[in-house]
Structure 1
Amino acid sequence: MKPLEKLNGLPYEEAKAEFMRCCGSSRWADAMARARPFKDDSAVYAEAGWLWSQTGPDDWREAISHHPRVGDISKLRERFQKTGAWSEQEQKGMQGASEEVLQALANGNREYEARFGFIFLICATGKSAQDMLDQLRERLNNPPPLELRIAAGEQAQITRLRLEKLLTST
């Protein structure tokens, strides 16, 4: 059975759980589970994007809360068991980072959370630790409403990548 066929055939609660692995917004995951069956993978991506565009700040904060801090690899398996392997894979650019960069990320994360009230979220796939640190430092200057929108955009990118993984591994 193809991954999409399996996803389409899951009971509602199981499908919602699968979508929660892709995006931690319960409203979004609920809507995705209810939107089934999907004709093809493209329909999944289109619906996911459209439904995300219908969400708002509370949904974005909920989704962000389902991510580990950038660089906090030790917490990935512990707190985020269902998405930990994906998060670790996405943060592969952290491997080989210098202690200086890791410490700067830890400090930057604390400053970011104090300023915005949520963790720094970035689609880490393909980015080095230094790239992520540079983005964190740049985004610290944003006004809070803008930064929340930027983080929501990063979540949309992460969701797309995770949907691709889901549709090749279900």
Structure 2
Amino acid sequence: MPNVTPGRRDLAAFNALSPPQAERELLSCCAAPAFALRVAAMRPYADAAALAAAAQEAVRGLSGADVLQALSAHPRIGDRAPGAGREASWSRAEQSGTTGADRKVLAELAAGNALYEQRFGHVYLVCATGLTAGEMLDRLKDRMGNDEDTEQAVVREELAKIAVLRVVKLVSDQEET
């Protein structure tokens, strides 16, 4: 295996991992073992775009139970992800739009999170990268009007967006923030 810094891999190093090692790495991108198994099994990838496409398709192919398992690894919008690992670091960076946000908006997000969870039975998930707290809140309010089937489709697409961003980070030279 090529010499790489622990926790950071380029695409060639990722392709060279054993299946169990690759699956462990992929679980930081999406916490559903079915996702990790499928994406790891499709290696080697020619480039990051191919890996991103495989991640997107793997999320779209998850069962409802697999999606719920993946959601359980995501903190509520506005909550700080626990721990010091890669997933926590990525989550904090993705939700950076809540840092320093108006207290009223954060309180509305917290209340909206609770209502969403009561209505849909799982955490409100949005690909928060690049969004302000107000934009996250607006999307939450809009999605409260969704029926169950529509919301399941939206959640799956948001999960796919997050997984794609994370697999690219997994094999990129970017610093993990």
Same fold (TM over 0.5): yes
Quick check: 1:77–1:85 contact (8 Å CA) kept in 2? Answer: no
Q: CA shift at 1:52, angstroms?
A: 2.4
The answer to whether residue 51 in structure 2 is matched with residue 50 in structure 1 is: no
Could you tell me how far 1:109 is from its partner in structure 2? Answer: 0.5
Q: Structure 1 or 2: larger helix share?
A: 1
* Larger deviation, residues 14-23 vs 2-11: 2-11
Aligned CA-pair RMSD: 1.7
Determine which of 16, 25, 32 is the counterpart of 1:9: 16
Equivalenced residues, count:
167
**Which letter does structure 1 place at the counterpart of 2:125?**
L
Alignment match of 1:69 (pick from 76, 79, 95)? 76
User: Cα gap change, 1:58/1:169 in structure 2, threshold over 3 Å: closer, same or farther?
Assistant: farther
CA distance in 1, matches of 2:53, 2:136: 28
Alignment partner, residue 149 of structure 2: 145
| TM-fit CA distance, 1:77 | 2.8
Seq. identity, %:
37
1:112 aligned onto 2:127:
no
Q: TM-score, normalised by structure 1?
A: 0.91
1:92 aligns with 2:96: yes
Aligned partners of 1:92, 1:132: CA distance in 2, in Å?
A: 11
In 1, the alpha carbon distance for the partners of 2:23 and 2:173 equals: 16
**What is the TM-score when the length of structure 2 is the normalising length?**
0.88
Q: What's the CA shift for 1:169?
A: 4.5
Q: Counterpart amino acid of 2:27?
A: M
